[in-house]
Amino acid sequence: MCKRAVCKAFLRRWNKMYDLIIAGSGPAGLTAAIYACRSGLKTLLIERAFAGGQMAISHMIDNYPGFENEVTGAALANSMKLQAQKSGADMVTEEIKSFELTGETKKVATSKNTYEAKSVILAMGAEPKRLCIPGEEEMIGAGVSYCATCDGAFFKDGEVAVIGGGNTAVEDALYLAKFCKKIYLVHRRDQFRASPSLVEAAQKLDNIEFVLNSIPLSVNGEYTVQSLSVKHNDTGEERQIFVTGVFFAVGQIPKTKLVAGQVELDEGGYIKSDEGCKTNLPNVFCAGDIRSKPLRQIVTAVADGAVAATAALGFEI
């Protein structure tokens, strides 16, 4: 980077008042930064760890438009990050400690600084709930997944397990049944929380086997998933189910703890917003998995980012 560019970046950082602050650098946050900077907004993007969010730790992505061949999540995340930087976004790696969103000037305090802006886009995302059983963490990207629609196609003609008893788990099993040879639907109770119509649809399919009243004990395998161990709650009998993939569908946790009590949340803790990604607070927007919506994918996060940035410019959407 030339001396002039370094000087400009330093001056922007020294003056901590921005047109727009984006909290989170997943696909929603990165896209919002690209759109905002291209429209002339002085934009700061704050990320706690690394750019890309859950996308960055996805082993392979084959459902994002424009890539006829698979692309690694890390590669796609890095490309989005570089494009955001090229567009002119300031990016800092700092942990956000608090938000002040109700005033005319929005304030975001991190572990190192306090930044101010006219508008804020909340794009902190959500994270899957984990059971923390042996092998789960070790096999992420090697057969363990938290998104059937993201990774299901990699298990075509294979045998997989889905863990969970809600709508998401049964919907995942129905989705996987279209191209997997066998799906074991594992639930710790003897009845599902999912809607009866979904359960009935799953019962009609020969390649979905219900493994009820059973808890998962461990995901097994050396380099990739080879089996799932489960135990029946009543008998204590342990069983090893031979599968190459295990999909955990036990819920997600939106990262809204720091904004609860300021922006309006739904029953699941996700941020409520309109079609323009506007929250109940003036000049506060949300985008990506943190937002209350029916589908959470990279492509919908990217769309949210574009919409939120455009709304932050003052355009009605």
Residues known to be catalytic: 147, 150-151
Residues contacting 240, CB < 8 A, separation 6+: 220, 227, 228, 229
The answer to whether the beta carbons of residues 79 and 238 sit under 8 Å apart is no
Paired tokens of 214: 């059973």
Q: Helix H segments across 102-231? A: 148-151, 167-176, 196-203
Could you count the other beta carbons within 10 Å of the beta carbon of residue 208?
Answer: 20
106-110 and 96-100 as β-strands: parallel, antiparallel, unpaired? Answer: antiparallel
User: Considering Cα of 163, then 164, then 167, then 168, what sign does the dihedral take?
Assistant: negative
The answer to whether the beta carbons of residues 91 and 45 sit under 8 Å apart is yes
Paired tokens of 200: 């009935």
CA distance 224 to 2: 46
Residues contacting 178, CB < 8 A, separation 6+: none
**What phi and psi values does residue 163 have, to the nearest 5 degrees?**
-110, 125
Residues contacting 106, CB < 8 A, separation 6+: 21, 99, 100, 116, 117, 118, 119, 120, 283, 284
Amino acid identity of residue 159, one-letter, is: E
The answer to whether the beta carbons of residues 117 and 19 sit under 8 Å apart is yes
Of 256, 219, 242, 26, nearest to 130 (Cα)?
219
